[in-house]
Structure 1
Amino acid sequence: MLNLENGVDSLTNFKRQTSEYLRQLHESGSPMVLTVNGKAEVVVQDAAAYQRLVELAARADQQETLAAIRTGLADAEAGRVKPAREALKELAKKFGISESDQ
């Protein structure tokens, strides 16, 4: 988790003491915001912590996909569906697309 009290420093300091900052990043697993002229510019993070973040995001995306599939299946089972051609005609009408453009 980003700690805004201890997790923000200047890029200049990071460049001057890179090995110390890398040690801190490895130990804490927390990202750090680096600033240029007092403005947040980049976030640096330990590679292992980044990998965990990527894996967590992928799992969240999979969960959202599975939830959408379950919703679609439930809609189909409940009869809340319509033929594709009918749905396409309604969309064409809604967005002002002539059927010859399809």
Structure 2
Amino acid sequence: MKPSHVKPISYLKSHAAEIVETISESGEPMLTTQNGEAKVVVQHAHSYEDMQQIIALLKILAMGQRDIQAGHYRDIDEFLAELDAEDKPQ
């Protein structure tokens, strides 16, 4: 995170409206510190929602990778043959 995006909590308290405007325009999050320690990240709601969607997709990919490693998958040729069989009239 850029040093300009790191602010003490006192700055957050006294410049809330300005911070909201800046974050809304730039899309960049702001790290808030308290007693020199990182405490809170303030970010635009849309950025947060996008990040949550990305995390959900990464979790799905990780679950799929674990399934593959555990041998819980089907051969693509078998799967496609099943689909073809379902499409044919009986």
TM-score w.r.t. the length of structure 2 is: 0.71
Q: Which residue of 2 aligns with 1:36?
A: 34
* Aligned counterpart in structure 2 of residue 18 of structure 1, from 16, 20, 25: 16
Letter in 2 for 1:59: L
- Aligned partner of residue 71 in structure 2, secondary structure: helix
Gaps of at least 5 residues in structure 2 are 76-90
Cα displacement string for residues 5-29 of structure 1 (whole angstroms, at most 9, x for unaligned residues): 2210011111111111001111222
Q: Distance in 1 between matches of 2:12 and 2:45?
A: 17
SS in 2 for 1:56: helix
State which of 56, 69, 73 in structure 1 corresponds to 2:54. 56
Partner of 1:69: 67
Quote the RMSD (CA, aligned, Å): 2.2
SS at match of 1:40: strand
Q: Distance between the aligned counterparts of 2:65 and 2:10, measured in 1?
A: 45
The answer to whether the aligner puts 1:27 opposite 2:25 as a matched pair is: yes
Query: How far has the Cα of 1:72 moved from its partner?
Result: 2.1
Aligned counterparts of 2:64 and 2:36: Cα–Cα separation in 1: 43
SS at match of 2:4: coil
CA distance in 2 between counterparts of 1:72 and 1:40 reads 39
Corresponding pairs, count: 75
